[in-house]
Structure 1
Amino acid sequence: MGFVSMVYSGLRQSFGTISLLFSGYTISFPGRVFGEQRGGAAEILSRTGVNHGNEPHLRILGQCYPGVVQYKGKQEPALTWDHYKVAQDLPDSGSRCFAHKAERVMMELWDFFRCEPGMEEVAASVVNKVCQKLVPDMWYEARIQAVITYHAQVHKTTVNKAQARTMQLTRAQYLLVPPSWLATHHPTWEFMARRWCDPEWWEQTHKAARERRLKMAGPAHHQGSQSLNQYAKKWSAAHGGQPCGQFMAFALAHKGKAESEVSFNPEDPPSAYSNATVHSRISQYTAAARQVHGEDWDPSTHDLDGELVMRVGGGKKHGRYWIGDSTLDTASTPTLSQIRARSTDSAPPIRPRPTATQIQIDQVQASMEAKMEEKLREERQRYEALMRSQMQAMFTYIQSIGAPPPSPDLFPGLAGGVPPPGGVTPPSGASPAATPNQSEASNFPISPTSPWTAWPPQ
């Protein structure tokens, strides 16, 4: 297999992955051997139209692994992408010289892929960000593979990845099964074997993971390894061919899997989404879009507007758009400085992007205010019920001893008031504050017929 049919025609940044989109062109790799050579050619990426994920990047990272490096004034194993950036490199088989191992990794990647013209800077930025995650992932996978290899070679048993994740080896057992890319870096493998057998290190690792998880309001999404466009196609196929735009797909991907019975409604509350922070994004984007396109604009039937996403999300943060990062074309989406330069008074404002922590604080604050309002309402109802009960008891007692009713001014809650006994009009200005008697009825020698009226119904 001396040729590989593909062209590197697109990039998608998605938490450490790059999607490779192929369109059928043929690229020859003369004199380059990648991994194990079989039949005189490299056995990689041979199936046109298949997303091969991170396989080529991990292999290049392993081949270029620098071992122990001088970093921040001390010698330590290369465990991060920054270690690759300080590791000196030797000329390769083609006499090419690179500033450091990181540059070699990035340049060797283009020996196997061809970038779309005009996308070189974007591609380099994405590859750099992807490698920041892939290097730690190498060590995670190396431990799991060591467990699988040890059981296969020593115990002659098969262990899958799910089982290997929960299994541990001793330091001596780890040292028996180093990965091929660490064959010449024994001190590094020994360092990792000691670390993996240290209970204190595991406790610190688990604690850090728990803290990161607690900061998340919910699952990131339900797409799995699919892109947003792939999720939209899958949802449409599972729901009778209903159309599914990018914005609608973004909302649905945070409700459930494509095959599940999920539907989009702009009026859905935050509880409808697996991650409450998504609701604020959807609401703000919808409001901004209707400000631009009119109140009748339906977000479910339109693709995402890159400029609006930049406005409501405060630009790109850490290289990512606030909504639908994988679907927006970086080349056609204006930068924040370009948007500011051409903004008018009628355009939606550029809002600072709230952090997940700030959104959670706002939600907790709103929840506390709602609970406090409900508590005050209940207390007010209890107080009013208690006052009515006490007033009823007082009126019943006064009536039982034959005393006249109090002035209407004293209890304004009595509907219609109570007329004075005998039709005698009290002197002007008479009130409980002006005379010791609450009414003049007590001055009559003969008590008239009881003027008590029925207690007003509750």
Structure 2
Amino acid sequence: MAFADEVCAPAVEEVPLVLVVEPQAPTWAGHVVHFVQTGELPDDPDESERVARRASMYQFVYDTLYRRMPNSTFYRCEKGYEEAAIEVIDYVCKRLLKNLRHEARVQAVPPRWCADQIDCWEVLVDDWCSHEWLALHNEAKDKRAQMEGVPHHQGSSNLYQFGRNWARHNKAEVPEVYDLYAKAHTASYKKVKAFSASDLDDPKNFTNISTHNKLVRYRDEGKARKGEDFNPSQGPIDPELVMVAGGGRSHGSIAIGDGLICCPLTLPEIKARQSSSAPEIRPRQRPVELIVKAAIHSERDRTKKLLAEAAEKQWELEERTELEERTTKMLEEERARNDMQNREMYELLVTVCEKAGQTPPPMPEITPGTTHNSRQASDDPSPATGTSHPGPSPS
């Protein structure tokens, strides 16, 4: 599919810029041709007014109908692209009209294109002062306030102009549309660097989460339908793939390209051409859905982190408890061995004293070990000194 500036090729140099009207053109084009050739208008008053107004923009050159353009240069539409060119021009004209209306309101004075049509200017001003327009304006303002991040960094330039500005500033070639869209939603053309596939790893690299989702879905759909070697940064962007990745024309335009990319097929037509084994075409998620989904993932990650920290603390506590238990057990075993050795030594001392005809000293009181390696208090309130009170003499 060719773009608007690729659809038209120069024809006769002496003639103005126009568009050839072929039999595949819309119904109104046939009425214009008939009026230009015969001077006869349709019977319907409204239709005849529209035909007469449109006819002033067309002219026959060598038995071929051309559309007259303001710059007095003529172009002829290449064969086979007539319907596509008409669709592009119709869409672009609607955007231009909307922009003219917006610019007129910002200027707050009758613009040059409306200077001699004061009645039209009055209609516009009445519309801006109406309650309906104010309600619509406030609704759009609320939606913009809910948006996280700025829409883009293009300013008043379209995507192609942003690319030319970036290329001139960096003394490089204009990137492909996919990279251009990513750059325009990252930073201004003076600050943004070359786009890399690794930039898609973090949604925070872009102005808003919606842009990141569109770029990732285009890449993933391309890999699913064209193979794992698919690289969206190489080659021109595929309008049909943009339609599939973006779930059709939400709000009248496809997901990537800011309305500059045109696809001649509708989403149902694309689905009808697919095989049963093709991946499912998912609807485009709204920005608020993406924000809620990101918030859920963020909360889930935070919960996992807290659980991991709690598990680590529990493990450290268990390790510490186990170490204390092992230490206590070792101390008790050591004290038990010491007590046994002390008893054996005392028995040996008694035996020696009996053989020597002497009275053996009393057996010292052995204090059993505790978990804190301290001596148990005896009946004597005095501190333990390692010696005990004398006991009864052995008989």
Same fold (TM over 0.5): yes
Which has the higher mean CA deviation after the structures are superposed, 212-221 or 352-361?
212-221
Matched, 1:99 2:99: no
Q: Would you say the 8 A contact 1:251–1:282 is kept in 2?
A: yes
Q: 2 CA distance for matches of 1:341 and 1:94?
A: 44
Alignment partner for residue 280 of structure 1, among 213, 221, 232?
Answer: 213
Q: Tell me how far apart the structure 2 counterparts of residues 325 and 95 of structure 1 sit (CA, whole Å).
A: 41
Which residues of structure 2 form unaligned runs of 5+?
19-34, 59-66, 70-75, 337-364, 374-395
Residue 219 and residue 23 in structure 1: after superposition, are their counterparts in 2 closer, same or farther (change >3 A)?
farther
Larger-gyration structure (1/2): 2
Match of residue 23 from structure 1: 10
Cα distance, 1:382–1:287 mapped onto 2, change above 3 Å: closer
Identity of aligned residues (%): 24
1:98-143 residue CA offsets vs partner (Å, 9 max, x unmatched): 6276666666555425655444444444455555555555554445
> Is 1:260 the equivalent of 2:191?
yes
Equivalent residue in structure 1 for 2:4, among 4, 11, 22: 11
State whether structure 2 residue 173 is matched by structure 1 residue 180. no
Measure how far apart 1:351 and its partner are. 2.1
1:284-342, Cα deviation, whole Å (9 max, x unpaired) = 222333345554544333332334323322233344322236665635x7865345434
Distance 1:337 1:197 in 2: 42
Partner of 1:321: helix, strand, or coil? coil
Partner residue in 2 for 1:354: 285
The TM-score, its normalising length taken from structure 1, stands at 0.51
CA deviation vs aligned residue, 1:227-262 (integer Å, no higher than 9, x gap) = 544444443343343572232222112112333342
Cα distance in 2, alignment partners of residues 10 and 100 from structure 1: 32
Which residue identity is paired with 2:236?
D
* Distance (Å, rounded) in 2 between the aligned partners of 1:277 and 1:230: 22
- Larger helix proportion of the pair: 2
Q: TM-score, normalised by structure 2?
A: 0.57
The one of 109, 113, 127 equivalent to 1:147 is 109
Name 1:245's counterpart in structure 2: 176
Q: CA deviation at 1:279?
A: 0.9
Change (3 A) 1:130 1:196: same
**Backbone CA RMSD of aligned residues:** 4.8
Indicate the structure whose relative CO is greater, using CA pairs within 8 Å and at least 6 residues apart.
2
Q: Distance in 2 between matches of 1:136 and 1:275?
A: 25
Provide the rounded CA distance (Å) in 2 between the counterparts of 1:96 and 1:107: 10
Return closer, same or farther for 1:297/1:447 CA change in 2, 3 Å cut-off. Answer: farther
1:301 to 234, 239, 257: 234
1:299 and 1:258 map into 2 onto residues whose CA distance is 20
Matched residue pairs, number?
Answer: 305
Note the alpha carbon deviations across 1:32-72, whole angstroms, 9 max, x for none. Answer: xxxxxxxxxxxxx89xxxxxxxxxxxxxxxxxxxxxxxxxx
Where do 5+ consecutive residues of structure 1 fail to align?
1-8, 13-18, 30-44, 47-90, 150-160, 162-177, 392-407, 425-444, 454-458
Q: Which residue of 2 aligns with 1:164?
A: none
Alignment match, 2:253: 320
Question: C-alpha separation between the residues in 2 aligned to 1:417 and 1:353?
Answer: 63
The equivalent of 1:449 in structure 2 is 369
Residue 277 of structure 1 deviates from its aligned partner by: 0.9
Change (3 A) 1:363 1:193: same
